[in-house]
Protein backbone atom coordinates (compact mmCIF):
# COMPACT_ATOMS: atom_id res chain seq x y z
CA UNK A 1 0.00 0.00 0.00
CA UNK A 2 1.04 3.59 -0.47
CA UNK A 3 2.95 4.80 2.63
CA UNK A 4 2.54 8.45 1.63
CA UNK A 5 -1.27 8.10 1.50
CA UNK A 6 -1.29 6.12 4.76
CA UNK A 7 0.77 8.79 6.57
CA UNK A 8 -1.40 11.59 5.15
CA UNK A 9 -4.61 9.91 6.36
CA UNK A 10 -3.26 9.21 9.85
CA UNK A 11 -1.85 12.73 10.21
CA UNK A 12 -4.84 14.64 8.85
CA UNK A 13 -7.51 12.63 10.72
CA UNK A 14 -5.39 11.92 13.82
CA UNK A 15 -6.48 8.27 13.69
CA UNK A 16 -4.54 5.04 13.19
CA UNK A 17 -5.10 2.82 10.17
CA UNK A 18 -5.75 -0.73 11.36
CA UNK A 19 -6.55 -2.49 8.09
CA UNK A 20 -5.67 -1.92 4.44
CA UNK A 21 -7.14 -3.50 1.33
CA UNK A 22 -6.11 -3.12 -2.30
CA UNK A 23 -8.53 -3.71 -5.17
CA UNK A 24 -8.32 -3.41 -8.96
CA UNK A 25 -10.36 -0.18 -8.67
CA UNK A 26 -8.55 1.40 -5.68
CA UNK A 27 -7.65 1.11 -2.00
CA UNK A 28 -9.41 1.16 1.37
CA UNK A 29 -7.86 2.19 4.71
CA UNK A 30 -9.93 1.23 7.79
CA UNK A 31 -9.63 3.63 10.72
CA UNK A 32 -9.39 2.73 14.41
CA UNK A 33 -12.42 4.24 16.12
CA UNK A 34 -12.64 1.50 18.74
CA UNK A 35 -10.27 -1.01 20.29
CA UNK A 36 -8.47 -3.40 17.94
CA UNK A 37 -10.25 -6.31 19.65
CA UNK A 38 -13.67 -4.77 18.92
CA UNK A 39 -12.66 -4.10 15.29
CA UNK A 40 -11.62 -7.73 14.79
CA UNK A 41 -14.84 -8.98 16.40
CA UNK A 42 -17.17 -6.80 14.33
CA UNK A 43 -15.29 -6.64 11.01
CA UNK A 44 -15.47 -10.41 10.63
CA UNK A 45 -19.24 -10.03 10.47
CA UNK A 46 -19.01 -7.50 7.62
CA UNK A 47 -20.40 -5.01 10.08
CA UNK A 48 -19.48 -1.50 11.20
CA UNK A 49 -16.43 0.12 9.70
CA UNK A 50 -15.11 3.56 8.81
CA UNK A 51 -12.56 3.78 6.01
CA UNK A 52 -10.91 6.26 3.68
CA UNK A 53 -11.39 4.92 0.14
CA UNK A 54 -9.29 5.98 -2.85
CA UNK A 55 -10.71 5.25 -6.31
CA UNK A 56 -8.28 5.08 -9.23
CA UNK A 57 -8.77 7.40 -12.24
CA UNK A 58 -10.95 6.26 -15.16
CA UNK A 59 -12.18 3.12 -13.43
CA UNK A 60 -15.49 1.33 -12.87
CA UNK A 61 -16.29 -0.89 -9.89
CA UNK A 62 -18.82 -3.40 -11.19
CA UNK A 63 -22.23 -4.02 -9.67
CA UNK A 64 -22.24 -5.59 -6.22
CA UNK A 65 -24.80 -6.00 -3.44
CA UNK A 66 -24.54 -4.67 0.12
CA UNK A 67 -25.91 -7.67 2.03
CA UNK A 68 -26.94 -6.69 5.56
CA UNK A 69 -25.37 -3.25 5.70
CA UNK A 70 -25.96 0.35 4.66
CA UNK A 71 -23.07 2.55 3.53
CA UNK A 72 -22.80 6.32 3.86
CA UNK A 73 -20.23 8.00 1.62
CA UNK A 74 -18.77 11.45 2.33
CA UNK A 75 -16.79 13.06 -0.50
CA UNK A 76 -13.22 14.15 0.32
CA UNK A 77 -11.54 14.76 -3.06
CA UNK A 78 -12.47 14.47 -6.71
CA UNK A 79 -15.76 13.11 -8.00
CA UNK A 80 -17.25 9.63 -8.20
CA UNK A 81 -20.55 8.53 -9.67
CA UNK A 82 -22.64 5.98 -7.78
CA UNK A 83 -25.66 4.02 -8.89
CA UNK A 84 -27.74 2.58 -6.04
CA UNK A 85 -30.69 0.56 -7.29
CA UNK A 86 -30.43 2.35 -10.67
CA UNK A 87 -30.48 5.85 -9.07
CA UNK A 88 -27.47 7.88 -10.28
CA UNK A 89 -25.75 10.21 -7.78
CA UNK A 90 -22.59 12.31 -8.06
CA UNK A 91 -20.33 12.42 -4.98
CA UNK A 92 -18.05 15.44 -4.63
CA UNK A 93 -16.16 17.01 -1.72
CA UNK A 94 -18.50 17.75 1.19
CA UNK A 95 -21.45 15.75 -0.18
CA UNK A 96 -23.14 12.63 1.20
CA UNK A 97 -24.52 9.57 -0.59
CA UNK A 98 -26.44 6.68 0.99
CA UNK A 99 -26.09 3.20 -0.47
CA UNK A 100 -28.93 1.14 1.07
CA UNK A 101 -28.66 -2.44 2.25
CA UNK A 102 -29.62 -5.18 -0.19
CA UNK A 103 -29.25 -2.72 -3.06
CA UNK A 104 -27.15 -2.96 -6.20
CA UNK A 105 -24.18 -0.55 -6.16
CA UNK A 106 -21.96 0.54 -9.05
CA UNK A 107 -19.16 3.10 -8.65
CA UNK A 108 -17.27 5.01 -11.38
CA UNK A 109 -14.46 7.56 -11.42
CA UNK A 110 -14.47 9.12 -14.91
CA UNK A 111 -11.82 11.73 -14.12
CA UNK A 112 -8.07 11.56 -14.84
CA UNK A 113 -7.25 11.92 -11.10
CA UNK A 114 -7.95 9.70 -8.07
CA UNK A 115 -11.04 10.40 -5.97
CA UNK A 116 -11.36 9.93 -2.19
CA UNK A 117 -14.31 9.49 0.11
CA UNK A 118 -15.04 8.41 3.65
CA UNK A 119 -17.04 5.16 3.81
CA UNK A 120 -19.17 4.53 6.89
CA UNK A 121 -20.60 1.01 6.95
CA UNK A 122 -23.06 -0.21 9.55
CA UNK A 123 -25.39 -3.20 9.89
CA UNK A 124 -29.08 -2.84 9.16
CA UNK A 125 -31.88 -3.87 11.44
CA UNK A 126 -33.84 -6.72 9.85
CA UNK A 127 -37.38 -5.71 8.90
CA UNK A 128 -38.88 -8.39 11.13
CA UNK A 129 -37.29 -6.70 14.19
CA UNK A 130 -38.73 -3.26 13.41
CA UNK A 131 -41.98 -2.88 15.32
pTM above 0.95, yes or no: no
> What is the fold, at CATH topology level, of the domain defined by 3-125?
Jelly Rolls (2.60.120)
Average pLDDT estimate for 37-65:
75
Average pLDDT estimate for 112-131:
80
27 within 8 A of 21, measured Cβ to Cβ: yes
Average pLDDT estimate for 38-60:
73
- Name which residue leads in pLDDT, 104 or 47: 104
Average pLDDT estimate for 27-42:
64
11 within 8 A of 31, measured Cβ to Cβ: no
Which residue ranges make up each domain of the chain?
Answer: 3-125
- Euclidean distance between CA atoms 106 and 65, whole angstroms: 9
Amino acid sequence: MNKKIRDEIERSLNLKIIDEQSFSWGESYSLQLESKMDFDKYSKKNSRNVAVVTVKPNIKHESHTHYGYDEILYGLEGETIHWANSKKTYLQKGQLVLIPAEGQHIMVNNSPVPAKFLSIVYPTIPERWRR
